[in-house]
Homo-oligomer: A and B are copies of this chain.
Amino acid sequence: MTPDAETLNPTVKAGILVDALPYIRRFWGQIVVVKYGGNALGASQNGARATLASFAQDIVLMSSVGMRPLVVHGGGPQIGELMARLGKVPEFRHGLRVTDAETLDIARMVLVGKVNRDIVSAINVHAPIAVGVSGEDAGLIGATQRDPDLGFVGDVTHVNPEILERLLAQNLIPVIATIGSDEEGQAYNINADTAAGAVAEAVGAAKLVYLTDVEGIRRDRADPSTLISSITLDELDGLVADGTVSEGMIPKVVSCLRAVRAGVPQAHILDGRAVHALLLEIFTNEGYGTMVSR
């Protein structure tokens, strides 16, 4: 029978709190960038709601003990859903999806007006401390068009962290929708994994965490027992080179590699569907998922 928190021996309880102490100390005042994927919000509405509530609680806990969390999110599935409802047929060029002006408008409405709002609301149930931010606000994410044929798909040119620093300085938690804009004010849809890495670099984060729908990186993709808990940059380069890292993981892994090379001490890939995954990764000795570091 699994022991239940209420009936635990006091000494065991105290032990868990005491174990968390050095982690709380180490990350005091440090910025932790958390990428929360659109997938985690998908599937059955109820499951998603519970996962989001657990995620929000973790973020509030991190903030309560002195860390400065910062959330970056995507929303691919939700954008697809609204496009379908509007009868918008996806267009492809050279095999890649095209983002025309209307698609961009839809993406922006969903990311900024729906997904961002859902995350902000879930956090603010605890305390009024989350603030939704779009990459367009106060020049946050500068972007440039990737390829005229793809329309309004942008690459990050630079991140201006001023607005984030102001919010963090006020003990607020920025929740960022990854729309960028160029110098003429034209908006672009930005890959959220890449944006999270660029933000982590720009704000000097102590940790970058990707919450995904896999439990981490495996040496053998088919074998759960080969999950890697800690890996260096060089080893991970090797896994990318030999094709061990699966396709969907590429943007996350590349962003991890780049962010750590640029000075972020640790990057993590965790299964965001597990309840309190973030909390356990940060506050326990065993960690969770895969950690990338120098």
Contact = CB atoms under 8 A, between A and B. Distances in A.
Interface in A39-59: 57
A97 interface: no
State the number of copies, please: 6
A164 B6 CA distance: 37
Given A16-B8, A120-B136, A276-B11, A65 B113 contact: no
Of the four ranges (under 10, 10 to 19, 20 to 34, 35 or more), the interface on chain A belongs to 35 or more
A240 interface: no
Interface stretch (A18-26, A195-203, A218-226): A18-26
DSSP class of A's interface residues: helix, strand, loop or mixed?
Answer: helix
B279 A14 contact: yes
A187 interface: yes
Given A112-B117, A114-B109, A16 B18 contact: no
A101 to B, nearest CB: 11
Interface in A118-172: 120-122, 124-125, 127-134, 136-140, 160, 163, 166, 170, 172
Interface string A1-34: 0111110111111111111110011001000000
